[in-house]
């Protein structure tokens, strides 16, 4: 293949698809409430399948309900080049998180098919069934886990939803057999490229529509418990207190300052705190809080964690508090495939789309897909950096710019 002239994508098609997919589970003016295996999700999967058919792609659903549209390659033995994202949403989420990437893969392949005909390698668009864990909290990445063989035989019955139902029962209710999940595994995917909204303000601050993701952050969630001695808020002098709130405040300030000082892309967040007994006139006995700490660099990540843990120990010891913590989530970072990142950068340049190469601070299906394929991502600017809310928004122009970069990259990979 050789680099073609600029590949143009139809803005009207992109906008129509975004708005139509958002009708499945529409929530208020601009929101979407579409959890996996719900009637709204079934409607969205059917709609996506119909679009694949309409584009002339060979369309099928796999064992967990991922929807695939395949454009056969002339090299029958070639592994596939795949692009897509998830179509489930937060409760409620918006019209872009996930959905835009599923649409992008389809629009890019449809555009390439119409302009260049059959590729050498097969091209596939995919609507992944589940990423958010918004119905079954332990089911994050259900679709990409199925594809990469990361669902254990006992998982479907052990994965319980917020309403108490198992994901196995929810699958059966939409005609899927949990026993057949292993059939969803794919070992014939060469490269996976996911387009997604950024979910942060970095592109907006940089004045750029498109980002090329070269790494996806590693995350550790700590749950920290600090215990002191509950006492009367009036009668107990400051100098004699074992106050876990004072310790927690110092740790919260410290971990936030550590990440800030380390600089981008380090981030640390304390989003959750519980105080016991939580009375205005009682020095607390116990303060429990989370520390979410992220860095895409494997070494810097360990430095960040070590600094956080050293601070937690030091504050507890100095204030004579008991401290314990455990990690509820610990995901390694992903360094995206450098060849694919380079190819995306080249595609952006060829398309005349200035793009920022950056890390993702959020987790994505790509992290799972990378277990069995080369993988990288394209980001599209989010207004005000918002996501997981009906207010999330990306302009059609930005979406088109991202899809054009994606299409140019798929062209380089498949033709």
Beta strands 286-295 and 273-276, pairing class: antiparallel
CB 210 within 8 A of CB 310: no
Residue from the set 83, 191, 360, 394 that interacts with a copy of itself by CB under 8 A = 360
Quick one: 113 or 241, whose CB is closer to a copy of itself?
A: 241
- Please, what is the minimum distance in Å from the beta carbon of residue 404 to a copy of itself? 23
Question: Which residues in the 288-327 window bind a copy of itself by CB under 8 A?
Answer: 290, 292, 294
Question: Which residues in the 159-198 window bind a copy of itself by CB under 8 A?
Answer: 198
- Please, what is the minimum distance in Å from the beta carbon of residue 223 to a copy of itself? 8
- Please, what is the minimum distance in Å from the beta carbon of residue 172 to a copy of itself? 30
User: 160: which DSSP letter?
Assistant: B
Q: Is the backbone of residue 257 left (phi > 0), alpha (psi -120 to 50) or beta?
A: alpha
Contact flags string 234-273 toward a copy of itself, x per CB under 8 A: xxxxxxx--x-xx-xxx-xx--x--xx---xxxxxxxxxx
Joined tokens for residue 171: 């699958």
Instruction: Report the distance separating Cα 341 and Cα 358, nearest Å.
Output: 10
Contact flag: residue 228 with a copy of itself (CB under 8 A): no
Contact flags string 32-71 toward a copy of itself, x per CB under 8 A: ----------------------------------------
Q: Name the one range near a copy of itself by CB under 8 A: 142-150, 155-163, 216-224, 300-308.
A: 216-224
Contacts of 302 (CB under 8 A, 6+ apart): none
CB 365 within 8 A of CB 354: no
Residue whose C-alpha is closest to residue 372's, from 151, 183, 150: 150
**Phi/psi of residue 208, nearest 5 degrees:** -125, 145
Contact flag: residue 231 with a copy of itself (CB under 8 A): yes
- Please, what is the minimum distance in Å from the beta carbon of residue 209 to a copy of itself? 16
Burial of 87 (0-12, 13-18, 19+ CB in 10 A): buried
Contact flag: residue 201 with a copy of itself (CB under 8 A): yes
**Phi/psi of residue 45, nearest 5 degrees:** -65, -40
Residue from the set 363, 375, 405, 409 that interacts with a copy of itself by CB under 8 A = 363
Quick one: 166 or 231, whose CB is closer to a copy of itself?
A: 231
Q: Examine residue 277 and say whether the peptide bond preceding it is cis (omega within 30 degrees of 0).
A: yes
Beta strands 189-197 and 374-380, pairing class: parallel
Quick one: 67 or 270, whose CB is closer to a copy of itself?
A: 270
Residues of this chain that interact with a copy of itself (CB under 8 A) are: 198-202, 205, 217, 219, 221, 223, 230-240, 243, 245-246, 248-250, 252-253, 256, 259-260, 264-273, 275, 277-284, 290, 292, 294, 328, 360-363, 385-389
């Amino acid at each position: 293949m050789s680099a073609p002239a600029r590949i143009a994508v139809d803005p009207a098609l992109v906008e129509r698809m975004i708005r139509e997919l958002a009708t499945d589970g529409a929530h208020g003016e601009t929101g979407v409430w579409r959890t996996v295996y719900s009637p709204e999700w079934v409607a969205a999967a059917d709609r996506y399948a119909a679009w694949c058919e309409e584009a002339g792609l060979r369309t099928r659903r796999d064992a967990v309900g991922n929807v695939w549209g395949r454009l056969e390659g002339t090299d029958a033995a070639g592994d596939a080049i795949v692009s897509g994202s998830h179509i489930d949403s937060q409760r409620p989420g918006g019209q872009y998180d996930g959905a835009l990437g599923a649409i992008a893969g389809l629009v890019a392949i449809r555009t390439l098919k119409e302009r260049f005909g059959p590729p050498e390698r097969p091209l596939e668009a995919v609507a992944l069934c589940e990423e958010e864990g918004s119905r079954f909290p332990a089911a994050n990445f259900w679709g990409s886990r199925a594809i990469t063989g990361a669902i254990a035989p006992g998982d479907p019955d052990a994965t319980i939803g917020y309403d108490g139902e198992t994901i196995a029962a929810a699958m059966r209710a939409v005609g899927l057999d949990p026993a057949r999940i292993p059939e969803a595994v794919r070992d014939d995917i060469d490269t996976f490229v996911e387009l997604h909204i950024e979910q942060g303000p970095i592109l907006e601050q940089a004045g750029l529509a498109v980002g090329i993701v070269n790494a996806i952050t590693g995350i550790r969630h700590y749950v920290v418990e600090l215990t002191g001695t509950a006492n009367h808020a009036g009668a107990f002098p400051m100098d004699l207190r074992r106050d876990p709130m004072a310790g927690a405040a110092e740790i919260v300030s410290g971990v936030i300052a550590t990440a800030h000082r380390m600089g981008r892309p380090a981030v640390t967040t304390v989003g959750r705190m519980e105080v016991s007994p939580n009375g205005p006139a009682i020095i607390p006995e116990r303060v429990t809080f989370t520390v979410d700490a992220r860095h895409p660099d494997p070494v810097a990540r360990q430095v960040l964690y070590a600094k956080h843990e050293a601070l937690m120990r030091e504050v507890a010891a100095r204030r004579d508090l008991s401290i314990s913590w455990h990690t509820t989530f610990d995901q390694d970072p992903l360094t995206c495939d450098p060849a694919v990142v380079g190819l995306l950068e080249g595609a952006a340049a060829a398309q005349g789309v200035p793009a920022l190469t950056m890390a993702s601070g959020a987790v994505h299906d790509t992290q799972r897909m990378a277990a069995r394929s080369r993988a990288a991502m394209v980001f599209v600017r989010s207004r005000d950096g918002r996501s997981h809310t009906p207010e999330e928004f990306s302009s059609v122009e930005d979406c088109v710019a991202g899809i054009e970069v994606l299409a140019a990259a798929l062209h380089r990979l498949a033709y």
